[in-house]
Structure formats: structure tokens, C-alpha cells
Amino acid sequence: MDAGLAAVRQVSPRVREHPLLMLPEEDLDFIVQFVLTSGSLKEMAQLYHVSYPTIRITLDRVIEGLRESLRGAPPDPMTGLLADLVERGEMKVATAKSIRAVYRAALRRSAEMEKSQ
């Protein structure tokens, strides 16, 4: 069994909705187009009139959102904000990834400090 499917089946019984349905509608639309283009990021970039790296970061954001919904975690607002900035062309992909890495490292340090207290 695929690890992703196993994770879907292991979601808490309290969660009655399918994990995909917990994603924002724009992410669901993206997933539909992704499937219809047979997973071709090049075709997706053409369809959305953006660069390949922009589509790649959008896909990464959707994947991360799905992983978070499988874990029952609330969506990460920083990742969403950075992805939106990249998608609108207001920030370069590399800059967004750097900011996200620093942000996540700060979150980890904060969580570790809380655990040690």
C-alpha cells in the first residue's frame, strides 16, 4: 500500500472529511488541473501563464498543505503567504524558500525551548 494512502486511512476517526476536501478550493482546482495535465509541470506553467519554478513552488505548497491536513495540523500561514507572493510575481522562488527555511528553523527552536522548560 502506498504510504500516502496509508496515512489517509490512519487519519483520526474524528476527521470525517477526506483530507483533500480540507484544502482550500484554489488548491483543489490546482490538483484537478495537475491531474488533467498528467502531472506535467511544464503544461501547468503554460496553463497558468507562469514560470516552471512558480508552478513547482505552488505544487510544493499544495503538497505541504495536504501533509499538514493529514497530520491534523492547521495550515501554515507563512508558507501560504510566501507562495502567494511568488505566484503573483512579487518575490523570487529562492527568496521565498530562504525565508521559509529561517521561519521553520525559528519554529523548531521555539518548540524545543518550550519542551525543555
- Cα 116 to chain centroid distance, Å, stands at 30
Question: From CA 9, how far away is CA 15, in angstroms rounded?
Answer: 11
Which residue, 53, 75, 78, is CA-closest to 66? Answer: 75
Domain that holds residue 86: 3-116
pTM of the complete model beyond 0.75: no
Contacts of residue 68, Cβ cutoff 8 Å, sequence gap at least 6: 74, 75, 76
Mean pLDDT throughout 15-27? 75
For 46-98, what is each residue's pLDDT tens digit? 999 988 988 998 898 889 888 887 887 666 788 778 877 877 888 887 888 88
Answer with the residue of higher pLDDT: 70 or 14: 70
pLDDT at 2 > cutoff 60: no
pLDDT at 17 > cutoff 80: no
pLDDT at 37 > cutoff 90: yes
Question: What percent of the chain has pLDDT above 90?
Answer: 22
Question: From CA 28, how far away is CA 20, in angstroms rounded?
Answer: 7
pLDDT confidence of 9, banded at 50, 70, 90?
low
Cell of 72: 491534523
Mean pLDDT throughout 23-49? 92
Amino acid at 105: A
Contacts of residue 72, Cβ cutoff 8 Å, sequence gap at least 6: 11, 12, 15
- Helix-helix angle 93-116:77-87, to 10 degrees: 170
What is residue 74's DSSP assignment?
P
How many domains does the chain fold into? 1
pLDDT of residue 40: 96
